Amino acid sequence: MTLPRHGRLWLLAALTAALLPQLLRLPPWFIPYCVALLGWRLAIDLRDWPLPPRWLRVLLTLVGIGGVLAGYRTLFGADAGLALLTVMLGLKLLELRSLRDAMVVIFMGYFVVAGGFLVDQSIYVGVYLLVNVLLLTAALIALSHPAGPQHPFYLRRAGLLLLQALPITVLLFVLFPRLSEPLWGVPKTSSSASTGISDHMTLNNISELVDSEEVAFRVRFDGPVPPASQLYWRGPVLWVTDGRRWDPVSRDLPPRWQMLPGRYDSLDDPVRYALTLEAHNAHWIFPLDLPASVPNGMALTADFQLLSKRKVIARQRYELASHTRYVTGPLADEMYRLGLRLPTAANPRTRALAAQWAHLPAQAIVDSAINHFRDQPFWYSRRPPPLGDHPVDDFLFTTRRGFCEHYAAAFVTLMRAAGVPARVVTGYQGGEVNPVSDYLIVRQSDAHAWAEVWLDSDGWVRVDPTAAIPPHRVEATTDAQRFRSTDAATLNIDLDWAQRALAELRYRWDAVNDAWNQWILGYNHQRQKELLEQLGLLRFGWQGVIALLAGAIAAVLGAVTIYLLLRMRGRHDALVRIYQRYCDKLARIGLRRAPHEGPRDFARRVAAQRPDLADSSDEIITLYIDLRYGKGDAATSLPLLRAAVSRFHPGVRRASD
């Protein structure tokens, strides 16, 4: 079957839309290759260029595969696999001849659309990919339809097909057994970018996140949101320092101490919440303070880090519980000594200051350090000046401007130098409540570092030295703050209403994203199990659920089939009756249709024997064929056919005829 030109153009337009996101992800030098393939195919369709010879297609294939290998060092994985599929799809267009080739290209296009969801699962991408499916389906109809280009017809018919598939899609999504890992959780290449808290801290690396509005995680509490003073989300705990950089204990404690579960006595009831964590390509979770329980697939370390056994490479939802008031258990000798360790030659002025407090009790040493930050002219600055070879000395005695990691590192150094075990904890602090849907949004800009000190009576105690800085010594250095404090005042503009409107819009859109994350992307094995338990379906077992799914799909298909048959039967019966009236009128004048004679052949014979009936007969046959075999709309064309047959009066055949 020869492909109609309008069908080929529809196919090329749909594939261009499907490939566009993939082209934007390819290495820059690779994009011209794929664009050239699409442009070549367009020239073939518009200018009737010949298809390239076989040897040239083979050469282009080798170049494409070599380009993927050069760009990704592999042909496997989400990124490399989608790049290879993009290349193969472009090359397939250069040998497109028959309807079979077009079907292969269409289904490859569907695979590209599905593959796009492996890379990005945002709601924007979901809507865009749905439009791609609509365009590919419209191209499929255009290739199979004999009529000329009628764009609204193709899109309308494609939309109707997608709507008809919606009930079965919903049934499969809700009832089909979910995988324990989502399909889009396939391993990514090592080049995949990630943002957020790191497993180490150098002065200034947390402040790099301060202007990022990216969401780190969202939290929905079972009860009221705890006070802001308790909203410390615990991440990597850092023990080892060279005077500038802080690292975890992996190189300094034996494995038996690294993964020994932390022990503590709780002083309050646990706070229960659901934490939806964005992918950050690391093992740590960010629970509130100290976890009250350890979910399956996780481990709690000796310093109370909650770690996933697998890297968080896709958005995950965790049901957690935490305590915010507690007393930790005894401290092992190895950890006690590690909590006092400092490099011998680094930051001598800091050591000298701490030596003045060494004779005091531990709590008094903590208070002395906090008072030092409060009483001396220290400033909280998101753009602190650079530091020299002894960064803590430079911060404490020269610049006195810093971000949370400066204060945490300086405080822990002072504590250790004075004989109090201490460590740095990184994570997030605070969050903003979304009033639209009553959950907490924690962004990358909420990244924070604080300290923990060991007190014999209380165990590990959180101390946040950054909080000691008075509000009047906080520098406003973000772009938004500068604009509000200068330009708005100069222009005498009241921005409160605009800020409220933008905040409302942002909260509503984030609520939509959260619903998308919870009920579409987050609909995993556990959530499906909970839903089926609520519906009472799990009492039948998974075999029963699958049987129910099959029965429900069969019922939907049966209902659709019966509806279509009844609709077609009503239309077909009326059409046959009208056409039979036309044939009966001709039979009365001796022009009887033969059983083997089709409507077009019958019309030609009528025109040959009765030229005076040619025009009216051709009008009737055209409407009939359009309704019976073509795209005719029964609502408009059937009344026209009925009227034409009613006007048709062939009269009595004369002897001379």
Give the residue numbers marked as catalytic: 404, 448, 464
Closest Cα partner for 234 from 299, 297, 298, 307?
307
Write the DSSP assignment of 139-150 as a string of letters. Answer: HHHHHH--S---
Residue from 251, 235, 282, 240 nearest 425 by CA: 235
> Per-residue DSSP letters for 51-64?
PPPHHHHHHHHHHH
> From CA 504, how far away is CA 10, in angstroms rounded?
41
Q: Which two tokens stand for residue 452?
A: 């923990």
Residue 237 burial (C-beta neighbours within 10 Å; 0-12, 13-18, 19+) = buried
Residue type, 353: L
**Cα dihedral across residues 435, 441, 444, 450: positive or negative:** positive
CB atoms within 10 A of CB 70: 11
Query: CA angle, corner 437, sides to 433 and 438, nearest 5?
Result: 40
Residues 6 or more apart whose CB falls under 8 angstroms from that of 257 comprise 249, 302, 332, 334, 335
Closest CA to 216 of 429, 477, 424, 25: 429
In sequence order, the β-bridge partners of residue 432 are 441
Residue 195, C-beta contacts closer than 8 angstroms, at least 6 positions apart: 209, 212, 214, 280, 444
Cα distances (Å, whole numbers) of residue 285 to 10, 183, 363, 496? 47, 21, 31, 36
CA-wise closest residue to 381 among 481, 295, 303: 481
Which amino acid is it at 478? T
Contact yes or no for 83/26 (Cβ under 8 A): yes
Distance of alpha carbon 534 from alpha carbon 540, whole angstroms: 13
3-state SS, residue 388: coil
Q: How many helices (H) and strands (E) does the chain have?
A: 21, 19
- Both tokens of 2, joined, read 């020869």
**What ranges make up the beta strands (E) of 242-286?**
245-247, 264-266, 271-277
Instruction: Please give the Cα distance from 316 to 182 (Å, whole number).
Output: 10
Distance CA 94, CA 234 (A): 55
Tell me phi and psi for residue 610, to 5 degrees.
-130, 80
In order, the DSSP letters of 63-121 are HHHHHHHHHHS-S-SHHHHHHHHHHHHHHHHTT--BHHHHHHHHHHHHHHHHHHHHH--
